[in-house]
Structure 1
Amino acid sequence: MGLLALQRLMSLQRAGVGARQRRRRQQILDQNASVNKRKGSPCQQGSDGYSQAAKIMRCSIPDLPEDIWCHIHSLMPLRDAASAACVSHAFLRSWRCHPNLTLNINMLASETHACELSYSDKIDCILRNHSGCLKVLKLELDCIFISRRHLDNWLCAAVTPGIEELTLLPYKRKYNVPLSLLSNGVRNSIRYLKIGYCTFRPTAELGPLRSLTSLYLCTLRITGDELECFLSNTLTLKQLVLVDCKEIIYLKIPCMLQQLGYLKIFECWRLQVIESKAPNLSIFCLSGEISKVSLGETLHMRNLTLHRSNVVCYARADLPSIMPNLETLVLNSCGEVVSTPMLPTKFLYLKHLSINLVAGLKLSLSYDYFSLVSFLDASPSLETLMLDVTQHLMKHESVVGGSSHLRQIPEHRHCCLKSVNITGFSSAKGLVELACYILKNAVSLESMTLDTIFGPRHRSRNNHTLCLPKSTGILKEAPRAVTAIREFIEDKVPPTVQLNVLEPCSRCHVMPG
């Protein structure tokens, strides 16, 4: 609930006030109009210098119990809650025990706090007034220079027993998060912890975190041994995310983490070995060339995302036997060399498949897009297929101006596939053959989208929508792709299938002369 909802509530109350009261308020407003103009906005007068307009607003607020107003205040967006505190003593009291705070450069530079104070002074003032009552604290200060002394004082004052969510993103990379931050009372209550852009050195003496369910570490200086030590004290952990933690080379996840179901590791460039003994892992996301990955029991794995070179061939060859119960599979290949093999193994439960061939200049010209049929034949339960096959320079054999003979393979009915989306669709012969195969054999297909360019198409600036620029190679290939669709695909579309062809913008995506 924001200020708009509050204003509506106040207007309903004012509608029931007698005519004499309304005239009296108008007289007071008229008498003090010039005074209010000279004094400026209530936020600039301090917590005790309220204008007469603020008094009028207080008079017009319905007479409700304070706990109801506190609840209404807690539902407002943070900026609206701070603004309301400037014009109402009731909301000022509520603001000082507001349980959720997000402090970042956008919040601190907003009009609500646009005064002649430094960022440090503003944060100091806000946290001093909220000491001991916070449930959620987000200090997203990675764009603001803050001294170590200030950080220590704020954390000591704001992170108290009862806090449930803490995000700490300071500017100082060398700031060492004090272990005293996680005191016994804090360890009993905290459920979500996100730390980044600093140093964290947990030891065995830290003690158990009895309520922690989500841990997010980004651009953090912490070793694999220190992380293992920390994880051994988080037996209730359900989600673990590691992003850009460069000091971790060997990651060990102990078997005591019985509830861990989500693991994401992204851009930890020095990581070589992952050894997880968590028995109930069901969602795993991995980006990077890891030498060894051991996940122990994988029968519970339902959702897998992999980002590495040649991952499409690896997934088709190895995953059906390793993770037979997969339902969602996302593959991002940084350069596929070997075409996808036709194999007898199956993904019996796979429903959603996304393949991104990050081609650039790395995709082998010998790679055959038509070989992706192997995934279709191996996935009898597949419902959605998303392919991104963008090439900045399309060098595969084109069906436009070349051979018009399309390969045929034995028919295989696909009874569950409903939606297909191919981004970066070109006139490459293998892609056209793949699209035709799907249209002929996917008997439950409802829609097929062929997008001849890739990525976001638009951006907004000053209330105007602008097309994003595209490379010359893509703009040169897009008309050929449209021609291939018109000549080889359109006449094969069943009447029950919606074909969507997305072309470049005729105004913005024009080939340079």
Structure 2
Amino acid sequence: MQDTWHHILSLLPLRDAARASRVSRAFLRSWRCHPNLTLENFSHTIDCILRRHSGVGVKILILSLYGIANNDNLDSWLQVAVAPGIEEIMLLAGRSKMEYNFPCSLLSEGIRNSIQRFQLRDCAFHPTPELGPLSNLKRLCLESVGITGYELECFISHSRSLEWLELTDCQGIISLKIPCELQQLNCLRVRECWRLRVLESKAPNLSDLATTGKVKLFGETLQMKHLSMFFQNAVHYARAELPSIMPNLERLSLASGAEVHSKTCLIEHLTVLFTSGLTFSPSYDYFSLVFFLDASPSLETLILDVTQLRMGQISVFEDSSSLRQIAERHYCCLKSVKITGFSSAKSLVELVCHVLKNAVSLESLTLDTLHGWRCSEENHPRCFIVQKDMLMEATRAVEAIGTYIKDKVPATVKLSAVEPCSRCHKVGGRAGKNRAHSRRR
């Protein structure tokens, strides 16, 4: 019967399980074995709960200590809640406890054999080579954690079931080597680790990589399929380097501060290309992206965010010369194109016209004149606030679509031109239209 109460209470949220413990002694004993502990905000409450909990049967422990000035009992809390059989530990130590050092002694053999997900934030973690293997660890996330590259290598080398490794703002890591023993590792996220200079991976099945900052990549990269990069001249780097080191890339996401023009080699298997806002400088020649299209014969989806805080290019309305054209191409696989922050920049209009002429399988073209959410979307009562200059340029972009692009759209292509919102976006008392025009000719 006791096992039945354990099972019933394990299905309840922690707060409801605690309330139910008042009903009977059986419920009280069962609550003390609740498997999922999510504790936050008040140190006194956390202390009371953990003093009453048996520590037996905890599967998930989430400790969020933000806003708690005094966490002197943290070691004792962890001693109670972290026991053999636990599957997930998430410790968010809070900015006030950056000096807290997560005790490796806590990771006994029984815990190392059961833990599957391990996340630390705002603390120090210094594993040693003597720490035994974590045979079932699948996901490791470290954010603002004091750890060196060598210490991390020691830790993950014992974690042969690791599938996902995420590092954010870990400034003690200057170089990182991923050992070949990590046969299951398929996803690596390295964000805002600004001191990281060298990343060498020998993991044979790593296929999804995201980095911020220009990091030298070495090792096994031929199997890479998804790549996300954020650093200055990322587009130029992608054109020059990726075809040789990642020839099987299928999805590429780029963010950059400024770009220079360059031609590129072949990226044969790329199917999705995404660039985020402010990747391009205000004076960037968007028409030069034709070379990227030429180098990506398998490209199916092109997503460009060309949002600019100011219009730094010549508008198509300010240059009376003809639109540039180059020899005919055939982009046989390109089916979907979306451009956010579309403007009246002449080179951008030229790029769109080039795509319409040469993408023989194109099905949809979306030109969104503004960046950000819209009030028509769920949970957003008003549209994203933008500057007056951006609104004025969005109005010109709508005019450019109607003048130079609309008539070039084939009957088989669905054009969606997303205009400024009539309720939220007004320039000088004059509003655009809050709708996305969709038509199929």
Pair in the same fold by TM > 0.5: yes
Offset of residue 333 of structure 1 = 1.2
State how far apart, in whole Å, the 1-side matches of 2:67 and 2:346 are.
49
The structure-2 alpha-carbon separation of the partners of 1:405 and 1:206, relative to structure 1 and needing over 3 Å to count, comes to same
Secondary structure of the 1:220 match is strand
Q: Which residue of 2 aligns with 1:363?
A: 281
Structure 2: which 5+ runs fail to align? 430-441
8 Å CA contact 2:372, 2:384 repeated in 1? no
Q: Which residue of 1 aligns with 2:62?
A: 138
Q: Which amino acid aligns with 1:242?
A: L
Find out whether 1:237 has 2:162 as its counterpart: yes
8 Å CA contact 1:134, 1:158 repeated in 2? yes
Q: Which residue of 2 aligns with 1:455?
A: 372
8 Å CA contact 2:132, 2:158 repeated in 1? yes
Q: Which amino acid aligns with 1:494?
A: P
State how far apart, in whole Å, the 1-side matches of 2:417 and 2:23 are.
54
Q: 1:504 aligns with which of 417, 420, 429?
A: 420
The structure-2 alpha-carbon separation of the partners of 1:141 and 1:346, relative to structure 1 and needing over 3 Å to count, comes to same
8 Å CA contact 1:146, 1:170 repeated in 2? no
Offset of residue 210 of structure 1 = 1.4
Q: Which residue of 1 aligns with 2:296?
A: 379
State how far apart, in whole Å, the 1-side matches of 2:131 and 2:385 are.
52
TM-score by length of 2: 0.89
The structure-2 alpha-carbon separation of the partners of 1:410 and 1:94, relative to structure 1 and needing over 3 Å to count, comes to farther
Please list the CA deviations of residues 369-422 of structure 1 after superposition, one character each: whole Å capped at 9, or x if unmatched.
011122222222222111000111111111124325111112222222222110
Q: Percent identity among equivalent residues?
A: 57
Find out whether 1:97 has 2:20 as its counterpart: no
Please list the CA deviations of residues 52-75 of structure 1 after superposition, one character each: whole Å capped at 9, or x if unmatched.
xxxxxxxxxxxxx77667556544
State how far apart, in whole Å, the 1-side matches of 2:13 and 2:413 are.
44
State how far apart, in whole Å, the 2-side matches of 1:202 and 1:488 are.
61
CA-atom RMSD in angstroms = 2.5
8 Å CA contact 1:340, 1:372 repeated in 2? no
Please list the CA deviations of residues 246-277 of structure 1 after superposition, one character each: whole Å capped at 9, or x if unmatched.
11112222222222221111001122222222
The structure-2 alpha-carbon separation of the partners of 1:94 and 1:443, relative to structure 1 and needing over 3 Å to count, comes to farther
Q: 2:84 aligns with which of 156, 161, 179?
A: 161
Offset of residue 483 of structure 1 = 0.6
Please list the CA deviations of residues 125-177 of structure 1 after superposition, one character each: whole Å capped at 9, or x if unmatched.
323325111111111223333423x1111100000000011101112110111
Q: How does 1:301-316 map to 2 (within 5 A)?
A: 301-316=224-239
State how far apart, in whole Å, the 1-side matches of 2:176 and 2:352 are.
42
Find out whether 1:317 has 2:240 as its counterpart: yes
Q: 1:129 aligns with which of 43, 46, 53?
A: 53
The structure-2 alpha-carbon separation of the partners of 1:244 and 1:512, relative to structure 1 and needing over 3 Å to count, comes to farther
Q: Which residue of 1 aligns with 2:267?
A: 347
Q: Which residue of 1 aligns with 2:200?
A: 275
Secondary structure of the 2:382 match is strand
Offset of residue 77 of structure 1 = 4.8
Q: Which amino acid aligns with 1:169?
A: L
Secondary structure of the 1:465 match is coil
8 Å CA contact 1:286, 1:306 repeated in 2? yes
State how far apart, in whole Å, the 1-side matches of 2:415 and 2:368 are.
11
Q: Greater CA deviation, 179-188 or 377-386?
A: 377-386
State how far apart, in whole Å, the 2-side matches of 1:357 and 1:374 are.
20
Offset of residue 124 of structure 1 = 2.1
Please list the CA deviations of residues 107-140 of structure 1 after superposition, one character each: whole Å capped at 9, or x if unmatched.
xxxxxxxxxxxx2221123233251111111112
Q: Which amino acid aligns with 1:505?
A: C
State how far apart, in whole Å, the 1-side matches of 2:297 and 2:8 are.
51
Offset of residue 458 of structure 1 = 4.6
Q: Which amino acid aligns with 1:402?
A: D
8 Å CA contact 2:14, 2:34 repeated in 1? no
Please list the CA deviations of residues 70-112 of structure 1 after superposition, one character each: whole Å capped at 9, or x if unmatched.
556544555555555566877655543332222234xxxxxxx
Q: 1:220 aligns with which of 131, 141, 145?
A: 145
Q: 1:284 aligns with which of 182, 206, 209?
A: 209
8 Å CA contact 2:272, 2:300 repeated in 1? yes
8 Å CA contact 1:191, 1:211 repeated in 2? yes
Find out whether 1:393 has 2:310 as its counterpart: yes
Q: Greater CA deviation, 131-140 or 119-128?
A: 119-128
Larger radius of gyration: 1
Give 1 or 2: higher helix fraction: 1
Offset of residue 312 of structure 1 = 0.5
Q: Which residue of 2 aligns with 1:406?
A: 323
Secondary structure of the 1:467 match is coil
State how far apart, in whole Å, the 1-side matches of 2:22 and 2:278 are.
52
Find out whether 1:263 has 2:188 as its counterpart: yes
Q: Which residue of 1 aligns with 2:436?
A: none
Structure 1: which 5+ runs fail to align? 1-64, 106-118
Q: Which residue of 2 aligns with 1:183?
A: 108
The structure-2 alpha-carbon separation of the partners of 1:506 and 1:460, relative to structure 1 and needing over 3 Å to count, comes to closer
Number of aligned positions between the proteins: 426
Q: 1:329 aligns with which of 238, 249, 252?
A: 252
Offset of residue 179 of structure 1 = 1.4
The structure-2 alpha-carbon separation of the partners of 1:363 and 1:86, relative to structure 1 and needing over 3 Å to count, comes to farther
TM-score by length of 1: 0.77
